A and B are shown apart, each in its own frame.
Chain A
């Protein structure tokens, strides 16, 4: 990994925040986030930082609030009727102080089960975000779609069949299509909610490879119940349990020498 010349204080600050030393910038920051579904509290006082151009993995047993936390980052939590308190900052600005539509353009999301639009072609699926957001001329649209599909490592497989329905391709391809769709609107952060859990091992490997490539240009937060996957793809890891952030730090450290006992127990498979 390249080590750019950093000022000493920043490295220290990052280290204090638990971020890997290679982190240069904080892209997103969660501060004292509490999340509720009606009276039920799903997240308790969660604070953490997401470093730019890095991959943050969120792990924890089922029901620990990791998906809920992810959804708080791009204001999808409220779509399901949830409420929250606390701050979520993107480049220093609170996402809850502005229109959710604007937030979601900059913080994209890929879901657990691939959900391409069934009534639209592969091309239209990728183009939809652009069509909604701005009057983009046709040739620019073509170029953008091609770019996005290339970045999602799907272009070669579908370039001759862009007119086919979005659901006519395999599950793994659909998921990459969803990634291309997200990339097309040029977000800065990509949230992934267990993106490979519905896919076979080969498709999963492709997604992981993709994440590795994508982090060069985007910041990625991935929720996964697969610890090995977290260890493979991420730079930092956050361990959640029962709605609380138990431990957060450099992936290497979390997986080899965790500070908290609960983390260790989860990692070693004693529960979860």
Chain B
């Protein structure tokens, strides 16, 4: 470069490939790419390919390992209600039911609370309160599942057994959802603990979605004489799809949750309408029985359940991302 400048042929431009016409001998590198660039690109590309193949491998691996079960039970696996390792008769319905019931129950409890929190944080709280409060709620998301489970076994379940289920049983025991003896462990406990776990996700994302609604919308409704709450209602309407996305993300988390649920749900493969009865989720049965699975059919049945779980989670998460992405596009 110095040579070129000294020769006075080219004015001292800062960059290569600038306006002046260089003499061929003066250029150190030709216009084709630098070796370092090529190496860099292909190295990173390799890792990206690793990620891609990882997923394909995962799917393939699980498929192969569960093949025996798939071949033996076919679609009946999804509708079968017996789970009998002794007779080698496996049906996944109780677990699908357990997963979906506990997750939807969690959503039922968590959604109104999360919306309330999101509205409070986004529309009502002054900033000196909002930030620490948001932080605290996000802390809930960082607590490991096993700690939730521990708290579930020793604190939540006894409390349910003594203070929640007896009165429910006493007053509303005739209703199918409150029938049965109050053990504490069961669907109700699972739903409650899951709701606490998904609360931070649904609340934080809903809050972000609400914040993304432009201020002009709030002003528009206030200016025609709406009360604060009426104005918020309109904002919620605006943020509908994003909030739905947040809900689905919460649902996805609840579906995949293992330890906390396993520790409080009772782990019996029953399908029951009562919240007091124990249940069993897909994740729980895998966690509990995998190491005890003695035969390859047993293991492959469990792996088939894992695939099922994987698929359900993927679908829910994809839908969720689509909704949240479109709601906050460009506004974050």
Cα separation A23 to B306 with both chains bound (whole Å)? 80
Q: Which residues of A in the span 165-201 have a Cβ within 8 Å of any Cβ on B?
A: 178, 181-182, 184-185
Given the known interface contacts A115-B216, A117-B217, the answer about A104 and B223 at a Cβ–Cβ threshold of 8 Å is yes
At the interface with chain B, which of A128-136, A203-211, A213-221?
A: A128-136
Q: Is the interface of B mostly helix, strand, loop or mixed?
A: helix
What 1/0 flags go to B217-243 for Cβ under 8 Å of A? 111111111110010001001101000
The answer to whether the Cβ of A5 comes within 8 Å of any Cβ in the partner chain is no
Q: Tell me which residues from 109 to 151 in chain A have a Cβ below 8 Å from any Cβ of chain B.
A: 109, 111, 113, 115-120, 128-129, 132-133
Contact B219 A101 (CB under 8 A): no
A111 and B225 contact, CB distance less than 8 A: no
Residues of A in contact (CB 8 Å), total 26
Compute how far the CA of A102 lies from the CA of B222 in the bound complex, rounded to whole angstroms: 11
The answer to whether the Cβ of A76 comes within 8 Å of any Cβ in the partner chain is yes
Q: Is there a chain B Cβ closer than 8 Å to A105's Cβ?
A: yes
Minimal beta-carbon separation of A191 from chain B (angstroms)? 8
B234 to chain A, nearest CB (A): 6
B235 CB to closest chain A CB, in angstroms?
10
B230 to chain A, nearest CB (A): 6
Chain B residue with Cβ nearest A125 = B220
A202 in contact (CB, < 8 A)? no
- Say yes or no for A108: interface residue by CB 8 A criterion: yes
Some 29 contacts from A to B, beta carbons below 8 A apart, are: A76-B219, A79-B218, A79-B219, A101-B226, A101-B227, A104-B223, A104-B225, A105-B224, A105-B225, A108-B223, A108-B224, A115-B214, A116-B220, A117-B217, A117-B221, A117-B238, A119-B238, A119-B240, A128-B224, A128-B234, A129-B225, A132-B224, A132-B225, A132-B226, A132-B230, A133-B225, A182-B223, A184-B224, A185-B225
Asked if A74 is an interface residue, CB under 8 A from chain B, the answer is yes
Residues of B near A108 (CB, < 8 A) are 223-224
- Chain A, residues 70-111, CB within 8 Å of chain B (1/0): the string is 000010100100000000000000000000011011001101
**Contacts known (A105-B224, A129-B225, A185-B225); A117 close to B219, Cβ less than 8 A:** no
B331 to chain A, nearest CB (A): 13
**Top-5 shortest CB links A-B:** A105-B225, A109-B223, A129-B224, A115-B216, A104-B225
B238 to chain A, nearest CB (A): 6
Residues of A within 8 A of B216 (CB): 111, 113, 115
Q: Which residue of A lies closest to B225 (CB)?
A: A105
Cα distance, A18 to B240, chains bound together (Å): 51
Neighbouring A residues of B225 by C-beta, 8 Å: 101-102, 104-105, 129, 132-133, 185
B227 and A115 form a contact (CB under 8 A): no
Chain B residues contacting A105 (CB-CB under 8 Å) are 224-225
Residues on B with C-beta less than 8 A from A185 are 224-225
Asked whether, in the complex, the Cβ of B223 is within 8 Å of the Cβ of A74, the reply is: yes
Assembly CA distance A108 to B223 (angstroms): 6
Apart from A74-B223, A111-B223, A128-B234, 4 more pairs, CB < 8 Å: A102-B225, A115-B220, A117-B237, A132-B230
Bound: A105/B240 CA distance, A: 27
A residues within 8 A CB of B237?
117, 119-120
* CB interface residues, B 97-135, toward A, < 8 Å: none
> Within the assembled complex, what's the spacing in Å between the Cα atoms of A182 and B216?
15
B222→A76 contact, CB < 8 A: yes
Bound CA span A109–B224, Å: 7
Looking across the interface, which residue of chain A has its beta carbon closest to that of B126?
A81
Question: Which residue of chain A lies nearest to B239 when distances are taken between CB atoms in the complex?
Answer: A119
The CA-CA distance from A108 to B218 in the complex, in Å, is 14
Chain A residue nearest to B222 in the complex (CB)? A79
Docked complex Cα distance between A76 and B217 (Å): 13
B226: chain A residues within 8 A (beta carbon): 101, 129, 132
Bound: A132/B225 CA distance, A: 8
Q: Which residues of A contact B224 (CB under 8 A)?
A: 104-105, 108, 128-129, 132, 181-182, 184-185
